[in-house]
Homo-oligomer: A and B are copies of this chain.
């Protein structure tokens, strides 16, 4: 396995003008985004949070399931769910976003799960911190990566595998890295990784491994498929590319007014319209949201809800008062974070369709 894609194993790019295929549709009907009107909720209600499952949702029996912690540790650990649940319990409100969000907006389109821009959600996750478990197992001084392996099994670009992701040791040792068994006050649902998943706040979704069964400490960088081949930002298939890590800044607005069923075109009446949504970034706190109501010609600051130090990795609400006048308008929104990063108005293409935080555009017809 190398970091470059083989000819057999590289991601397909759609031809110019090629419609969505039945393979992409089969993924879109299984997986789902968060309908954008659900941006109204601080915490995404059950069933509205985005879901991306690489293979099948595995049938894990929580009664016999065990988590194995091993690899280059001083002593391997094996824990049942009840043992984990007797450990200190922590809840955290964390936003997740799929690294492929926005993929179907790339031109040409990388062929994979065809997200538009709705692969997001914020939940209250309940579990126990990971770091004390790693410390109990004993992490050697030369440890580099920690590998999280799920019970989901399948084939991807010719490689049969259990889904597995490596995480740099320093990230795995963060105080806010959690192993969680609860979501929004209820047991973790099957599609979100029951009985146990990793939550590593700030990272794109691929790092929050579901249906966890094994955690291994490595003294070398993990070179498995999901790190070395998938989830890399690259233009040419022979490049190593850059790994996908933390969530780029993004703001989304809940399209105002009412929709056309088929086109999703929006209609509002003239007069004051509150445009509202959420903004987030995995690298640094969001500190600015701007709105354009004229297709990007001019931008105006939105009002940010007060920063919430209790939930640094949740999304932040914002709103903007727009006076709609008859005719057509195009609403845009963009976020910036304290690191100085913001969202592009023109896309920067990559061949696996990763981390596309291109600004959202919402055409609106103002009807009298």
Task: Give me the interface of A with B, judged by CB distance under 8 Å.
Answer: 18-33, 35, 37-38, 40, 45-49, 51, 53-57, 59, 104, 111-112, 114-116, 118-119, 153-157, 160, 186, 189-192, 255, 258-264, 267
Given the interface pairs A23-B262, A46-B46, A115-B29, the reply to whether A191 lies near B35 with Cβ below 8 Å is yes
- Chain B residues near A160 (CB, 8 Å)? 258
A-B contact pairs, 21 of them (CB 8 A): A18-B19, A20-B20, A20-B25, A25-B116, A26-B264, A30-B33, A30-B35, A31-B32, A32-B32, A35-B53, A35-B56, A37-B56, A45-B189, A46-B47, A46-B186, A47-B191, A48-B190, A112-B262, A155-B261, A155-B267, A156-B260
Nearest residue (CB) in B for A57 is B37
Nearest residue (CB) in B for A184 is B46
For the complex, give the distance between the alpha carbons of A19 and B30 in Å.
18
For the complex, give the distance between the alpha carbons of A267 and B158 in Å.
12
A56 close to B21 (CB less than 8 A): no
Which residue from B37, B48, B191 sits with its C-beta under 8 Å from A189?
B48
- Chain B residues near A261 (CB, 8 Å)? 54-55, 154-157
A40 close to B55 (CB less than 8 A): no
A153 close to B258 (CB less than 8 A): yes
- Copy number in this complex? 2
**6 other A-B residue contacts (CB within 8 Å) besides A45-B190, A46-B46:** A20-B25, A25-B114, A30-B118, A35-B191, A47-B189, A155-B267
Which residue from B19, B192, B259 sits with its C-beta under 8 Å from A155?
B259
For the complex, give the distance between the alpha carbons of A190 and B112 in Å.
29
- Chain B residues near A22 (CB, 8 Å)? 20, 104, 116
Nearest residue (CB) in B for A18 is B19
For the complex, give the distance between the alpha carbons of A267 and B32 in Å.
24
In the A-B complex, the 6 residue pairs with the smallest Cβ-Cβ separation, listed nearest first, are A19-B19, A32-B32, A47-B47, A20-B20, A28-B28, A156-B261
- CB proximity of A300 to chain B, nearest CB, Å: 25
- Chain B residues near A28 (CB, 8 Å)? 25, 28-29
B57 close to A35 (CB less than 8 A): yes
- Chain B residues near A115 (CB, 8 Å)? 29
For the complex, give the distance between the alpha carbons of A239 and B116 in Å.
36
- CB proximity of A154 to chain B, nearest CB, Å: 5
- CB proximity of A342 to chain B, nearest CB, Å: 25
For the complex, give the distance between the alpha carbons of A153 and B260 in Å.
9
- CB proximity of A217 to chain B, nearest CB, Å: 27
For the complex, give the distance between the alpha carbons of A35 and B186 in Å.
21
For the complex, give the distance between the alpha carbons of A48 and B157 in Å.
27
For the complex, give the distance between the alpha carbons of A167 and B31 in Å.
33
Nearest residue (CB) in B for A55 is B259
- CB proximity of A259 to chain B, nearest CB, Å: 5
- Chain B residues near A56 (CB, 8 Å)? 35, 37, 255, 258-259
For the complex, give the distance between the alpha carbons of A20 and B29 in Å.
12
- Chain B residues near A255 (CB, 8 Å)? 56
